Structure formats: structure tokens, C-alpha cells
Amino acid sequence: MFEIRAATPNDVKAITEIYNHAVLNTTATFDTEIQSEEERMHWLINRAEIHPVIVGVLDQQIAGWAALGPWSPKKGYDIMAEGSVYIHPEFQFKGLGSILLKEIVEEGKRVGLHSILARITTDNLHSIYLNDKEGFVRIGVLKEAGQKFNRYLDVMILQKMLNP
């Protein structure tokens, strides 16, 4: 059974490793350069309260993490956040992605957000499915919105209203 809890600075090494695997091997992020533990520590400790990070733990190992981040630096957008979920390759397809997504949505409600957005490359069918299952609505597709691995990628925008 996965334990879900708030991320702490002690989790940064595992969070960084999971994220860097996604950077190097997937289109889950458009980052193309790996991040250092120092960069991820700065990312973790300088977050606003409305942008929590949670981790999923199994047998004392960080198996995945989820976060809410700013959609835009403009103050008027503070009612909305962008959600992210990353799972260690050894723990993928074991239900943790669904658990973390549900929990980060609950965190969004707890901190008073109005909605959560997801930006997912259209080739990431599993992530689209997870968001669909959690009640995110498909808003639209940005054609060739980014480039990674020498290909243009379309990005689907999904949104979940927390206080309809």
C-alpha cells in the first residue's frame, strides 16, 4: 500500500531522479536538460502554499510524486494551478499515478484553487486516460506546441473545475 504525504527536503534526491528519468526518456516534460538536486531543492522550498508537492512511498522508497505549480506568473491566475505527476519506472502501471492525481486534486481543493490544468503531449495516452478518469475535461489541442527528440509535439489541455 502506498503512503501519500507532503514532500520534504529529504525527498529531493528521489524526486530529482524520477524527474530526470522523464526528462531523458519521455515527452512528459519539455525540459531537455536534467536538473541538479540543488535546482530541485530550490524548486521545492520556494513554493507558494497553493503549490504543494506530495510523494507516494512504498517500503520507504519514493515511488512517485505530484505537484501543483503556477499556470502563469500573473496574479489573476492564482485561482488555477497546473498539475504534474511523475512515477518511478519500477512503479508505473501499479495504480500510483491515479492515487497521486486524486490526492493532488484534493490538495488543490484544500488550498482554495478554483481549477487545475494539465498539459499533456497527445502521445502520452496513459496520462490522458488518468486525467480523463479523474474528471478532467479536454479543452483543446495546441498543434506542434513543442519539440523534443527531434519531433514536433501536440499538447492537449485538460481542466478540472474544483468549485463549479
Q: For the packed helices 96-110 and 125-133, what is the interaxial angle rounded to 10 degrees?
A: 50
Domains parsed from the chain with CATH numbers: 3-161 (3.40.630.30)
Q: What is the DSSP letter of 79?
A: T
Residue 15 one-letter amino acid? I
Q: CA angle, corner 126, sides to 163 and 12, nearest 5?
A: 75
User: What whole-number distance in Å separates Cα of residue 110 and Cα of residue 35?
Assistant: 29
pLDDT per residue rounded down to tens, the chain (164 residues): 899 999 999 999 999 999 999 999 999 999 999 999 999 999 999 999 999 999 999 999 999 999 999 999 999 999 999 999 999 999 999 999 999 999 999 999 999 999 999 999 999 999 999 999 999 999 999 999 999 999 999 999 999 999 86
Helix (H) or strand (E) segment spanning residue 123: none
User: What whole-number distance in Å separates Cα of residue 17 and Cα of residue 72?
Assistant: 26
Q: Return the pLDDT at 93.
A: 93
Residue 9 one-letter amino acid? P
Q: Return the pLDDT at 164.
A: 64
Q: Where are the beta strands (DSSP E) in 7-164?
A: 53-58, 61-70, 80-87, 115-121, 137-148, 151-161
Residue 47 one-letter amino acid? R
Q: Return the pLDDT at 105.
A: 98
Burial track 53-75 (b if 16+ CB lie within 10 A, e otherwise): bbbbbbeeebbbbbbbbebeeee
Q: Return the pLDDT at 13.
A: 98
User: What whole-number distance in Å separates Cα of residue 102 and Cα of residue 112?
Assistant: 16
Residues in the chain: 164
User: What whole-number distance in Å separates Cα of residue 157 and Cα of residue 153?
Assistant: 13
